[in-house]
């Protein structure tokens, strides 16, 4: 099987989508699948075996390291005339993904799409809420024009079906339990950060951006500090909110984006993980934190909904709960060391059953089934054309 992978982000980018695609690619290539990668970045040397084409792109506002792509490069189209892909996997819905989807439909090549990110929910955080209905319409028409749409959580699948998305299947996420594990905890590592054995280290990993609900993270930590004045806050990641975090919490430890063993070491040396986001389709960091032996406080959605059992291995807050409920749960776990340790151990145990092998196998099966499905449905193309025109004006 030859797979054309179309995406706005891939390794070495540091985000949930790029990490997921990296794992899926490794697994598929181990099964003998040939992968043609098209994206607006430069291929990571660890994926030198990939056939990779760089699409023209434009920097994503607020994220200097990320780009969105414009269209399929002519050189890859020329290559595909002699070596056509059997199937497309289009992971992102920007102009590049749209270009690939139209190319696949025109040639009758099955195209599976991934719903990885709730872009429509992000708009309000960038003062673009007035575009939400138009973007929701575009996303629905985009995915309904594909052979199949994959999304990572049961909750997200049901939400898409309720919005009249069609042919939506679940493709979960795994976690690297060999990399993320609690025995990486080290007194020396903590001391290098200026944290002693008795101090509480509260952590967060992810983009430092408004859509991640960081104001609530900072409020919860401020409440923790009223009870435990020596507590420190560690944030792993970068984004447009870096300066605001530093302003509101001057002694917060901001260590930027981290990968591999460095990231795993930061997780293992935290004591409590707070994840206040309400916009996740999954949230890989929740699984990584739990595999590292951390109790997690999060809202009842996506990965947290599927992985956390309140009072056992973490704490879930109903999505309708006010901020005070999240803050109260964070403070309670911060004060109860024994409870944190028990929850963290159970979280670690639960994650041992959540490796990538089963996820990769399901992905391969879904792609294989889609080879014989093709496009058997009609789609309304006018909104897609409008989206393409909008992309050219951006």
- Report pTM: 0.86
Backbone angles phi, psi at 381, to 5 degrees: -95, -15
Euclidean distance between CA atoms 323 and 265, whole angstroms: 30
pLDDT attached to residue 136: 87
363-394 pLDDT per residue, tens: 999 999 999 876 656 555 534 444 444 333 33
331-361 pLDDT per residue, tens: 999 999 999 999 999 999 999 989 999 999 9
- Number of Cα atoms under 13 Å in the Cβ half of residue 336: 15
Please, which residues bridge with residue 149 across strands? 113, 168
26-67 pLDDT per residue, tens: 999 999 999 999 999 886 666 777 899 999 988 766 555 567
Length in residues, the chain: 394
Structure tokens at 375: 């496009």
Class of 2-174+356-393 in CATH: alpha beta
Where does the chain hold its CATH 3.40.50.2000 domain(s)? 2-174+356-393, 182-351
Domain 182-351 CATH superfamily: Glycogen Phosphorylase B; (3.40.50.2000)
H-state helical runs in 249-353 = 260-268, 284-291, 302-307, 323-335, 337-351
pLDDT attached to residue 37: 96
Please, which residues bridge with residue 205 across strands? 236
pLDDT band at 135 (very low <50, low <70, confident <90, very high): confident
H or E segment at 357?
helix 357-371
Residues 291, 351: contact at Cβ < 8 Å? Answer: yes
150-197 pLDDT per residue, tens: 999 898 899 999 999 999 999 999 999 999 999 999 999 999 999 998
């Amino acid at each position: 099987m030859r797979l054309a992978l179309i995406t706005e982000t891939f390794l070495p980018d540091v985000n949930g989508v790029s990490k997921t695609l990296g794992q899926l690619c490794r697994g598929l290539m181990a099964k003998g699948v040939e992968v043609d990668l098209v994206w607006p970045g430069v291929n990571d040397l660890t994926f030198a075996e990939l056939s990779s084409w760089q699409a023209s792109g434009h920097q994503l506002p607020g994220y200097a390291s990320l780009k969105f792509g414009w269209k399929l490069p002519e050189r890859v189209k020329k290559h595909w005339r002699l070596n056509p892909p059997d199937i497309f996997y289009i992971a992102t819905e920007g102009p590049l993904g749209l270009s690939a989807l139209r190319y696949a439909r025109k040639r009758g090549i099955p195209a599976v799409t991934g719903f990885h990110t709730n872009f429509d929910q992000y708009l309000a955080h960038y003062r673009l809420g007035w575009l939400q209905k138009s973007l929701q319409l575009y996303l629905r028409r985009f995915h309904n024009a594909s052979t199949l749409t994959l999304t990572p959580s049961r909750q997200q699948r049901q939400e898409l079906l309720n919005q009249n998305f069609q042919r939506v299947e679940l493709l979960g996420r795994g976690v690297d339990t060999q990399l993320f594990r609690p025995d990486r905890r080290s007194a020396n590592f903590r001391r290098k950060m200026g944290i002693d054995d008795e101090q509480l280290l509260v952590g967060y990993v992810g983009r430092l951006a408004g859509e991640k609900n960081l104001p609530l993270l900072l409020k919860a930590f401020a409440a923790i500090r009223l009870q435990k004045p020596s507590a420190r806050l560690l944030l792993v990641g970068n984004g447009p909110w870096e300066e605001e975090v530093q302003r509101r919490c001057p002694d917060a430890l901001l260590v930027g984006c981290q990968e591999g063993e460095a990231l795993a070491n930061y997780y293992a040396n935290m004591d409590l993980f707070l994840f206040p986001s309400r916009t996740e389709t999954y949230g890989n960091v929740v699984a990584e934190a739990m595999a590292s032996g951390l109790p997690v406080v999060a809202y009842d959605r996506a990965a947290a909904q599927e992985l956390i059992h309140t009072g056992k291995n973490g704490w879930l807050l109903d999505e309708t709960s006010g901020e005070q409920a999240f803050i109260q749960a964070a403070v309670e776990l911060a004060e109860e060391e024994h409870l944190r340790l028990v929850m963290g151990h159970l979280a670690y145990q639960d994650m041992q059953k959540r490796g990538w092998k089963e996820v990769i196998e399901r992905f391969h099966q879904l792609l294989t089934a889609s080879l014989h499905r093709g496009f058997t449905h009609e789609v309304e193309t006018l909104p897609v054309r409008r989206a393409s025109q909008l992309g050219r004006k951006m």
